[in-house]
Copies of this chain bind each other. A is one copy, B any other.
Amino acid sequence: MENMALPLVLLSEQFAKLPGIGMKTAQRLAYFVMSMTEDEARAFADAVIRAHSTVKCCTVCQNLTEGEICPICDDARRDKSTICVVETPKDISAFERTREYKGAYHVLHGLISPIDGIAPGDIRIKELLKRIQTRDIAEVIMATNPTVEGEATAMYISKLLKPLGIKVTRLAFGLPIGGILEYADEVTLFKALENRGEM
């Protein structure tokens, strides 16, 4: 590092802030930027600024979008009475890839995590409540990750919604398709056994 030019050190430090990128990879990326043409480097920097300044949260579902309302909320063919609650916009992409879900979404932008100082007020729960109070909602599917924080957040929201007479469901847990029983952890196997269905 002490032999790198200062702007390269600073650029490496910027890359190292990205998730999953260590200092060594960050340096490699910084050197790669130096091998770009000026136009390429400018296009890269512009893409960061443009994405950050033009992409906002959908006023309905909090998904990231360029307009006021995201394409999913704006799509008349989607069933707006079903809301799938996810942690991040990335999770929406995962559900959309299945091409099976035709309802709407709600992005929490985080999970309740007392250990990280994230309280219910820090994620988009009030936006979900407002949406439920102003529109006709038949079902809310809690689709947070099967982690401690994901479970806790699902439980918290479920307890808020049930008194309002709304059907709250949770994603099924069990063996992943293509997985090998021998390698499944105990909790997954227990869930698969507990939730077994008739053939």
Contact at B66–A5, with CB atoms within 8 Å?
Answer: yes
Contact at B54–A7, with CB atoms within 8 Å?
Answer: yes
CB distance from A102 to the nearest CB of B (A): 13
Contact at B48–A41, with CB atoms within 8 Å?
Answer: yes
**Contacts A3-B71, A48-B44; is A20 near B10 (CB within 8 Å)?**
no
Q: Roughly how many angstroms separate A95 CA and B151 CA in the complex, as a whole number?
A: 50
In the complex, which residues of chain B have a beta carbon less than 8 angstroms from the beta carbon of A27?
A: 90, 93
In the complex, which residues of chain B have a beta carbon less than 8 angstroms from the beta carbon of A2?
A: 96
Interface string of A20-60 (1 = CB under 8 A from B): 10000101111111101010111111111111111100000
Q: Roughly how many angstroms separate A66 CA and B31 CA in the complex, as a whole number?
A: 14
In the complex, which residues of chain B have a beta carbon less than 8 angstroms from the beta carbon of A18?
A: 29, 32
Contact at B43–A14, with CB atoms within 8 Å?
Answer: yes
In the complex, which residues of chain B have a beta carbon less than 8 angstroms from the beta carbon of A25?
A: 20
In the complex, which residues of chain B have a beta carbon less than 8 angstroms from the beta carbon of A115?
A: none
Give the interface residue-count category, chain A.
Answer: 35 or more
Contact at B96–A5, with CB atoms within 8 Å?
Answer: no
**Contacts A8-B64, A55-B7, A55-B34; is A90 near B48 (CB within 8 Å)?**
no
Interface string of A58-102 (1 = CB under 8 A from B): 000001111000111000000000000000111011001000000
Taking CB as reference atom, which chain B residue is nearest A44?
Answer: B14
Q: Roughly how many angstroms separate A31 CA and B87 CA in the complex, as a whole number?
A: 13
Q: Roughly how many angstroms separate A8 CA and B90 CA in the complex, as a whole number?
A: 11
In the complex, which residues of chain B have a beta carbon less than 8 angstroms from the beta carbon of A155?
A: none
Contact at B52–A38, with CB atoms within 8 Å?
Answer: yes
Which A positions have Cβ atoms within 8 angstroms of B? 1-8, 10-11, 13-14, 17-20, 25, 27-34, 36, 38, 40-55, 63-66, 70-72, 88-90, 92-93, 96
